[in-house]
Copies of this chain bind each other. A is one copy, B any other.
Amino acid sequence: MGIVDVRQPLGEHQQQQQQQHHRHDDMQVLKEVAPDLPVVPGPLNDYRQTASFNWKQLRVVLEDPEILRVKMNLWRRLDADPVFAHPKVTPTVEEQKRHVSNQLKHFVGKDLIPQEVHSWPYKNKTRFMMAINAATSSWNKNLSVKWGLGVSLFTNALLSLGTERHLPFYEAVWENRFLFALVMTEVGHGSNTKSVRTTATYDPKTQEFIVNTPDFQAAKCWAGNLGKTCTHALLFAQLITADDTCHGLHAFLVPVRHPETLMPYPGVTVGDLGEKIGLNGIDNGFVMFNNYRIPRENLLNRTGDVTAEGEYESCFQNPEQILGAALENLLAGRVAISQESIHDLCTAVTVSVRYAAVRKQGGPRNAKEELSLLEYPLHQWRLFPYVAAACTFKVFIGDFTDQYLELVEQSYKGAEMKDLTSTASEVHAIVSAMKPLITWTCASALQESREACGGHGYLRASVIGSMRADHDATVTYEGDNNVLLQQASNWIVKHWNLAKQDNTSAILEVSPLGTLHFLINGEEKLKGRFSGSNVGDVMNVHFVKSAYEWLMCWLTQALDTELQRLKSAGLDRFTARGRVHAFYSKPLALAYGENNVLCYFWEKLRTPGIPSNVKHVMEHLYLLFGLWCIQRNLVYFYRGNFANGSQMADLIQEACQSVCHLLKPDIVAVIDAIAHPDSVIKSILGRADGKVYDHLYDAYMSQQGNMDRPSWWKEVAAKPQSKL
């Protein structure tokens, strides 16, 4: 799949989709990626019977079956290996670290990643690694983080920042001899990488860099693997030459511990930073260097080097390659996090929707049986939009990842790609909006699912709690969500003038992927007014699409206007941007993320070959996601005079409820299409057989000693009473 305008009607994109969709009826593929589910009489099975489509066919439309196959195979192999088994009770923090470290050894050592993958072209290799990463993340997020930071992300970074002399490190890592930590953040500085205070000063006499930490606030911290297990740090520090010139942040390979003894080297004060909210299998650590010397060659020197004599030299490299490296290093982590987060979102709704089908509560007076929670409109409204989000996100991330990797591959090749720079900016903006949108949506879905599962959702065995705790870090790491949103909105708003000038060709130029196409005829679009008079007018994919375009234009214009106003009032750029962040930039960037999801899904809907009943349910999912977004942004439609009076709000609300109602008979099958296998979900409330109470019983009973008197009973029992 190439880098193409997502709206381009007959590109390579579509052709590949077509090929893919021939597989809807490929029984062998379906058998592998969508194995039959258990047929157990009960409410869940009853709801399966009401579906209007074949969930297996939806499954392979929402995700590339090749990727699915990689994931399903990995899960089968992890499930078969006791090293990767899940503990029944949360182990101590120390034991969790041990457990995951051992898993990592097996993970890298096994042939889970075939040797030949390393020689694949960048895109294929990385796509494969990303599938492995996302699948591993759903198995055990600690393991994927440990592997990602220490092995896969690291080796990618090494290849892009380093040169041939660093290849032995690549091999040592893949051979389980070295383990890395990516070391950037300092105690006193998070996102603001320019303020990094750790230095690497070149000493021509010994041809070494002297790495130093001035004080505790400049101590490196949070780096995963650094606390206990890494052998090396990929360290970001200010490069200083002997003439005291600072050449800015550079990356260095810094030995931290002896690989065979795991003892830290003298001059390195390194330790674990202690228990965290989640991800306690990761040894996040801190490190301080006391004039610690490393060889000159340990500078990753693709973009700049220091000669033996101490001369700093910018290495000539073509700008595309620099761009590629930058994109890779900045964005690969964020793309991977988004992929993982969508996995978590799928699991969250799998658990809560299946539970809602099985769980019965209340009902009309004198009814014979209680109602499933799934029958309650409030419950539908709490959960179904997240199901729609999971499905639309899945399509979006699949197609976008292909575009992203294609871009990086082309850059590395130094290809003379048309629009390379503008594609890179656009990809950066897309990622900056998508990571916050996806991770926050997943976080809310986890919370809503926890609450929707009531008391039983509070059990560890529901698994929602540990998922929430582990997932929580994603909104902060690899770029704080709020900071990223500001970056996305900065990029969007600077193009509003093109809409004002009605400069379509310039818009096409700055937005090769089409995510700014809403700006075309932007001022004209803003004249749009709501004219619906019945629910069909809004329960309509075309309405959703055009309403969102109006919203995008309005939010962009509003931000532009406000920035101009503040500028005229004499505010500097930094202050003005701070002022507009909460009420203009943030909603714009989030809506941009939502609009991108809608556009990619829209495109998917137009792919030929999707069975018509599958397409029909996909339209409902598109509608629900779109209406849900519109509903949350409704006030802007009034504020911007798109709507007046109660009509639009009334109809949107009615449409939201109606689409939920329409989706109800299909929702369990939609879940089946996006659900991971039971061994991955791990939750007793979300298994495919719907036997919630049996699994609950087992969960109660299978805990060691759960019916025994506590070993410490004497400490708390009443003293024997005197019989006198």
Contacts and interface: CB of A to CB of B under 8 A. Distances in A.
A177 B718 contact: yes
A273 B707 CA distance: 9
Given A229-B710, A639-B650, A102 B260 contact: no
Nearest to A283: B710
A115 interface: no
Contact of A274 (B365, B450, B700): B700
Interface string A689-724: 000010011011101001101111101111111000
Contacts of A716: 101-102, 104-105, 229, 262
Contacts of A461: 274-275
A378 B634 contact: no
Interface in A239-273: 259-264, 269-273
A473 B457 CA distance: 10
Contact of A646 (B188, B381, B641): B641
A18 B571 CA distance: 47
Contact of A586 (B378, B697, B713): B378
A638 B640 contact: no
Given A228-B710, A276-B465, A458 B472 contact: yes
- Most chain B beta-carbon neighbours within 10 Å: one of A177, A231, A276, A700: A700
B378 A713 contact: no
Nearest to A261: B717
Nearest to A654: B583
B657 A277 contact: no
Interface in A156-213: 176-178, 185, 187-192, 195
Contacts of A477: 455
A93 interface: yes
A670 to B, nearest CB: 20
Interface residues of A, number: 128
- Most chain B beta-carbon neighbours within 10 Å: one of A381, A476, A641, A699: A476
Interface string A225-238: 00111010000000
A281 to B, nearest CB: 12
Contacts of A101: 710, 712, 715-716
Nearest to A216: B697
Given A699-B274, A716-B229, A717-B260, A378 B582 contact: yes
B581 A378 contact: yes
Contacts of A192: 361-362, 370
A644 interface: yes
A715 B229 CA distance: 11
A222 interface: yes
19 contacts: A89-B275, A98-B715, A101-B716, A102-B712, A104-B716, A105-B716, A176-B718, A185-B455, A187-B693, A189-B361, A190-B361, A190-B454, A192-B362, A195-B361, A264-B707, A276-B460, A377-B578, A378-B578, A641-B645
Given A98-B710, A638-B643, 9 more contacts: A104-B716, A191-B361, A192-B370, A271-B706, A274-B459, A275-B461, A276-B465, A465-B472, A644-B644
Interface of A: 89-90, 92-94, 97-98, 101-102, 104-105, 176-178, 185, 187-192, 195, 216-217, 221-222, 227-229, 231, 259-264, 269-278, 286, 360-365, 370, 376-378, 381-382, 443, 447, 450-451, 454-455, 457-461, 464-466, 468-469, 472-473, 475-477, 480-482, 572, 574-575, 578-579, 581-583, 586, 634-635, 638-641, 643-646, 649-650, 653, 656-657, 693, 696-697, 699-701, 703, 706-707, 709-713, 715-721
